[in-house]
Amino acid sequence: MPRPFYMSEEWKRCRKAYLQKVDGLCERCAATGGTVAADVVHHTEYLTDENINDRNITLNQSRLVALCHECHNKEHKTRERNVRYKFSGDGSLILCPPM
Contact partners, residue 86, CB within 8 Å, separation at least 6: 40, 69, 72, 93, 94, 96
d(CA 85, CA 23): 23
Each residue's pLDDT tens digit, 54-71: 999 999 999 999 999 999
More confident residue, 44 or 93: 44
From 18-22, 32-36, 60-64, 83-87, the region with the lowest mean pLDDT: 83-87
Does pTM surpass 0.75?
no
Strands, E assignment, the chain: 40-43, 64-67, 84-87, 93-96
- Is the pLDDT at 78 greater than 70? The verdict is no
Q: How many domains is the chain built from?
A: 1
Question: To the nearest whole number, what is the mean pLDDT of the chain?
Answer: 84
Each residue's pLDDT tens digit, 5-21: 889 999 999 999 999 99
Range of the domain at 48: 3-96
